[in-house]
Structure 1
């Protein structure tokens, strides 16, 4: 007999955007979204890697406007819900409204783990216009389990449909995940989700740990495509959950085919754990800093590892990408 239903949230077309320098085309988006819809993914997230309106000189420009991608994906989807990510301060209420008009049904409002209050208006507006709203707490390794609960309650009171905990740096171990998810499960009365990065090769293990403590929404991507060393690999996760008796409602072989036949051919490089992505996890650095760090290291003739160690010491978080160049410059002056 199957255990409870685990909802799969695919992030190939959002977090995966980081790994392809925000270069998804309409044709690629249609093929991926259509394939994921057919294999039974519950929610498909589509945005610039840094959320709607993220296309900029600071975060990287999109090859194709994300609203075109959202509209194209929606036309290929019949059962999955279409989601967008919104980071307050980057995306606005107006951007959210445009996303909804183009087919988005879900918004995941992502804030730093200690700043849920900046997302209150976005959660409330999403509910007002009939969208599913998710409170998404990034860099959760930096907060204690008690602090995570405190911030999650802000989202709950704002009307969020579920709370998503993000190991944005790929820093957590399964014990770290269990401590946060278990306390959250015992402290709030809405569902919980989890978003992992594979910088320490623990994304699948951490996702399973989250499920074991009661999380029912799990993020994953085809071939693990995502920032840093990537995310939880969708086709692996679905196979493991099936082996463990959980119901994902997914066609596992179909998921393997989408990953191999559609996503893998457009990847710039395999999602392997090289030294720099490993350092993201080891030092607790935001995973989307990776490509920015590579560019800064080349510009100033530095080892990317040294930049990442310094970013970790400074506890820099998403939104501070422009500071990577400043850190690299400062390190170069010490040589």
Structure 2
């Protein structure tokens, strides 16, 4: 048994979980779940469009509610938990940030691809000026070396980030990959796992053992693609290891049951597409365009994911998928 240590749990069910319902959560769903996890003592609750602040659009999907409506609804329900949101430069503007803070957001995470932290400088500075806690996020972190992650994390800290969150966006890591997890910076480090290889809880524990202060997790694992670290399981496992989260596990289990009944069509499962996306390090959130392109060109989705992995395709580069499928078809990569 390890010595008692406190871990902060950050719950993005009402943001990342929006992917599972095409960003269509309504005010009643948001308020009810937020109130349930607030009562359970979850420290931080992240809310917004699945693709982040300001992302509601024809390109990635319009949300049922505006950012302002989602944040105001959650803020009303949260009497103890801190309210967080996530933004990506290029989607959100400084005006969006000001609106978010005006609606009571306590924590704003600014995300960038793992080698492009420089794009976060302006927004991290604005968040600090507004009085909210600024955090940096490095997406698709498996695509950078530990040294590169250290350099990018240091940039974010220099811009004003009070914490840096490492996202395993493709669910590619194994626990042994996280042994040097917190080496990069002197601010708190967080980990956000995806469950493509069924390792999200184990990876999260490995991150904590390596020194991570905060772990992201969603009710029933609901999230983009195959889903995220399963919140109620994570808290139970951390408790078994002797870590303290300050969360009432029984109430959290009730909140997870509520989420399954009211927020999602069904809990996420690891299908063959999710599995190969984790193996190849490709974000499984692009599953739909991959399946459509594979069907159109008569190639196997597994082979198309392998091709995309070799091309190091990331979210936002969906326009490359049809070309990759056509190349496979020409090469004789049919079903």
- Could you tell me which runs of 5 or more consecutive residues in structure 2 were left unpaired when the two chains were aligned: none
Q: TM-score, normalised by structure 1?
A: 0.93
Whole-angstrom distance in 2 between the partners of 1:259 and 1:302:
38
Whole-angstrom distance in 2 between the partners of 1:330 and 1:316:
15
C-alpha distance 326-24 of structure 1, shift in aligned 2 (>3 A): farther
2:207 aligned with 1:210: yes
- Could you tell me which runs of 5 or more consecutive residues in structure 1 were left unpaired when the two chains were aligned: none
2:76 aligned with 1:75: yes
Whole-angstrom distance in 1 between the partners of 2:110 and 2:56:
17
Whole-angstrom distance in 1 between the partners of 2:86 and 2:257:
26
Whole-angstrom distance in 1 between the partners of 2:293 and 2:41:
40
Whole-angstrom distance in 1 between the partners of 2:323 and 2:44:
38
Any conservation in 2 of the 1:31–1:262 contact (CA below 8 Å)? no
Whole-angstrom distance in 2 between the partners of 1:236 and 1:67:
31
2:235 aligned with 1:238: yes
Any conservation in 1 of the 2:112–2:138 contact (CA below 8 Å)? yes
* TM-superposed deviation, 1:295: 4.1
Any conservation in 2 of the 1:223–1:264 contact (CA below 8 Å)? no
Residue 93 (structure 1) aligns with: 94
C-alpha distance 249-260 of structure 1, shift in aligned 2 (>3 A): same
2:219 to 194, 217, 222: 222
Residue 141 (structure 1) aligns with: 142
Residue 307 (structure 2) aligns with: 310
Q: TM-score, normalised by structure 2?
A: 0.93
Residue 183 (structure 1) aligns with: 183
Paired residue total: 331
* TM-superposed deviation, 1:269: 2.9
* TM-superposed deviation, 1:253: 1.0
SS at match of 2:136: strand
Residue 56 (structure 2) aligns with: 55
SS at match of 1:34: helix
Whole-angstrom distance in 2 between the partners of 1:321 and 1:19:
18
* TM-superposed deviation, 1:70: 1.2
Whole-angstrom distance in 2 between the partners of 1:144 and 1:65:
37
Whole-angstrom distance in 2 between the partners of 1:63 and 1:329:
35
SS at match of 2:253: helix
Whole-angstrom distance in 2 between the partners of 1:249 and 1:28:
24
Whole-angstrom distance in 1 between the partners of 2:327 and 2:62:
26
Residue 158 (structure 1) aligns with: 159
2:317 aligned with 1:324: no
SS at match of 2:37: helix
C-alpha distance 38-291 of structure 1, shift in aligned 2 (>3 A): farther
SS at match of 2:13: coil
2:196 aligned with 1:199: yes
Any conservation in 1 of the 2:10–2:45 contact (CA below 8 Å)? yes
C-alpha distance 178-286 of structure 1, shift in aligned 2 (>3 A): same
RMSD: 1.8
Whole-angstrom distance in 1 between the partners of 2:188 and 2:113:
20
Whole-angstrom distance in 2 between the partners of 1:25 and 1:295:
29
Residue 287 (structure 1) aligns with: 284
Whole-angstrom distance in 1 between the partners of 2:329 and 2:50:
29
* TM-superposed deviation, 1:125: 0.6
* TM-superposed deviation, 1:15: 1.0
2:246 to 249, 252, 276: 249
